[in-house]
């Protein structure tokens, strides 16, 4: 028996297109961001070298401090830290609003992360080396399949 032109093939009572369509997901924008049930439960993950206790953001295969190949332990990193260095970006790609603050944050307990600081006017007089900051996460984009992408940023504490 032949199917009529345009008829969908049924498998297990579902049309094939429906059976293979995945529900939209919430995904981290970077692999070192672990998403919780709510945005307040999101955190950065990192690695500690078991030889010298150096702490890094994300997974590591090699320790830059003691030159060993591990072993490494995966750890949850702090969501607070201090401003180590910054620059104010005045020109950006067309879809990015400038000016903005790009920074390196020294996390409490170890590890450093590149990020943006938001919630403050991007002027040098508003930023101080060593100032306390805290991480938050938010949805930053969505793809054509409806998947949401979450990124982390920092704001003054």
Mean pLDDT of residues grouped by 10 in the chain (157 residues)?
Answer: 52 56 87 93 96 94 94 96 98 90 97 96 97 96 93 96
Neighbouring residues of 57: CB distance < 8 A, sequence distance ≥ 6 = 32, 44, 46, 77, 107, 111, 112, 113
pLDDT at 15: 57
Q: How far apart (Å, rounded) are the C-alpha atoms in residues 45 and 77?
A: 5
Q: Is residue 133 part of a domain?
A: yes
Domain that holds residue 108: 29-156
pLDDT at 18: 55
Q: Is residue 122 part of a domain?
A: yes
Q: Is residue 16 part of a domain?
A: no
Count of structural domains within the chain: 1
Note the pTM of the prediction, 2 decimals: 0.79
Q: Is residue 2 part of a domain?
A: no
pLDDT at 123: 96
Q: Is residue 69 part of a domain?
A: yes
pLDDT at 94: 87
Q: Are 137 and 152 in contact (CB under 8 A)?
A: yes
Q: Is residue 103 part of a domain?
A: yes
Q: How far apart (Å, rounded) are the C-alpha atoms in residues 37 and 28?
A: 13
Q: Is residue 41 part of a domain?
A: yes
Q: Is residue 19 part of a domain?
A: no
């Amino acid at each position: 028996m032949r199917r009529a032109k345009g008829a969908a093939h049924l498998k297990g009572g579902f049309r094939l297109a429906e059976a293979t369509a995945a529900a939209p997901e919430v995904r981290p924008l970077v692999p070192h961001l672990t998403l919780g049930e709510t945005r307040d439960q999101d955190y950065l993950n990192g690695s500690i070298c078991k030889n010298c206790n150096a702490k890094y953001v994300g997974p590591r295969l090699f320790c830059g401090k003691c030159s060993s190949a591990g072993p490494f332990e995966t750890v949850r990193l702090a969501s607070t830290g201090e401003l180590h260095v910054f620059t104010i970006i005045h020109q950006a790609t067309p879809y990015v609003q400038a000016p903005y603050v790009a920074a390196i944050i020294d996390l409490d307990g170890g590890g450093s992360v590149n990020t943006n600081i938001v919630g403050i006017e991007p002027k040098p007089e508003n930023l101080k080396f060593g100032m306390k900051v805290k991480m938050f996460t938010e949805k930053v984009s969505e793809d054509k399949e409806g998947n949401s992408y979450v990124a982390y940023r920092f704001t003054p504490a």
